[in-house]
């Protein structure tokens, strides 16, 4: 192996080291800079090897094979055979370099598969369900457990399932209505706080009209009529949380929302 071959081999070795370094940095949760540096070293090694291979091994000789008569004389045939044998010897001598190239490409290919782990876990049913389960008690953001006497008529409060305070998809507005208004449970009715238009929090309540309004784009929902849309860009009703009151007077969910909350499902419109 001459000096040029050794230079190409060194560049391929650099590419292998860079690939291994990238895999190590990824597994050890090193910094993004470390992963980027290792990847840059690997690519630099491949670049140097490619340039060297193109200029030192392949060469830029131009050969014009002119056949003046056929068949060639014995001297020309003998020269062609010698050249073929020399070429075969050249290829065989660089077999180790070719194997090293394959090894570098293989290790780099394995390293390229590592980032697939960054895709994270599958969402499973997270897009379709919240943390609400049958029997969950309703609690305020401060952890206070709500009973049927917790709110005055025409009051509103944000609630979560017990044990999941702060869960974004489970945030719910609980409203106490006057007697005889809407399909309430002991005067209480609950809707998802996530607007079905763009996901803003539906937090403004007009008690006199029993309407919830989204402050972002002014969609208005009818609390007394299953949360249907009265006006605004929202095109479907707020999901309603089924409620019940247990024997001790605690407000509980009878289950999760019957439909996905938020604006992520356009086909429902």
Which DSSP string corresponds to 207-223?
Answer: TTTTEEE-TTT--EEEG
User: Are 175 and 146 within 8 A, CB to CB?
Assistant: no
Task: With residue 161 as reference, give the H or E element that holds it.
Answer: strand 156-161
Q: Quick one: which H or E segment has residue 120? A: none
State which residues of the chain have pLDDT below 50: 269
Which pLDDT score, from 0 to 100, does residue 91 have?
A: 58
Predicted local confidence at residue 269, as pLDDT: 47
Written in H, E and C, the secondary structure of 50-98 is HHHHHHHHHCCCCCCCCCCCCCCCHHHHHHHHHHHHHHHHHHHHCHHHH
Q: What does the radius of gyration of the chain's CA atoms come to, in whole angstroms? A: 36
71 preceded by cis ω (within 30°)?
A: yes
Rounded to whole angstroms, how far apart are CA atoms 240 and 190? Answer: 6
Angle in degrees, CA 81, 82, 87, rounded to 5:
95
109 backbone dihedrals φ, ψ, rounded to 5°: -65, -40
pLDDT, tens digit, 9 for 90 and up, residues 72-99: 778 878 887 887 777 666 655 567 888 8
User: Angle between the 3-27 and 95-113 helix axes, to the nearest 10 degrees?
Assistant: 20
Helix, strand, or coil (residue 269): coil
Read off the tokens for 63.
């050969």
Q: What share of the chain is helix, strand, coil (3-state, %, to 5)?
A: 40, 15, 45
First to last CA, the chain: 71
Nearest 10 degrees: Cα torsion 126, 132, 134, 136: 150
Please report how the helices 95-113 and 74-93 are oriented relative to each other, as an axis angle in degrees rounded to 10.
40
């Amino acid at each position: 192996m001459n000096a040029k071959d050794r230079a190409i081999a060194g560049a391929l070795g650099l590419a292998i080291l860079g690939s291994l370094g990238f895999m190590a940095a990824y597994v050890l949760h090193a910094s993004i800079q470390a992963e980027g540096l290792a990847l840059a070293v690997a690519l630099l090694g491949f670049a140097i090897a490619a340039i060297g291979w193109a200029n030192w091994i392949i060469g830029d000789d131009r050969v014009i094979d002119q056949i003046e008569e056929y068949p060639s004389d014995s001297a020309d045939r003998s020269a062609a055979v010698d050249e073929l044998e020399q070429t075969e010897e050249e290829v065989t001598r660089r077999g180790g370099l070719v194997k090293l190239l394959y090894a570098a490409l293989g290790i780099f290919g394995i390293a390229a598969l590592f980032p697939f782990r960054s895709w994270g876990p599958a969402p499973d049913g997270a897009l379709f369900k919240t943390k609400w389960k049958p029997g969950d008690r309703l609690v305020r953001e401060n952890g206070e457990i709500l009973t049927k006497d917790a709110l005055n008529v025409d009051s509103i409060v944000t609630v979560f399932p017990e044990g999941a305070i702060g869960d974004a998809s489970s945030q719910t507005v609980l409203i106490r209505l006057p007697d005889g208004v809407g399909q309430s449970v002991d005067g209480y009715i609950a809707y998802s706080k996530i607007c079905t238009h763009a996901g803003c929090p539906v937090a403004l309540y007009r008690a006199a009209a029993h309407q919830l309004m989204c402050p972002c784009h002014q969609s208005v929902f009818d609390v007394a009529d299953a949360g249907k849309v009265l006006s605004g860009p929202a095109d479907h009703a707020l999901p309603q949380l089924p409620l019940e009151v247990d024997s001790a007077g605690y407000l509980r969910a009878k289950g999760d929302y019957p439909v996905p909350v938020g604006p992520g499902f356009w086909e429902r419109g």
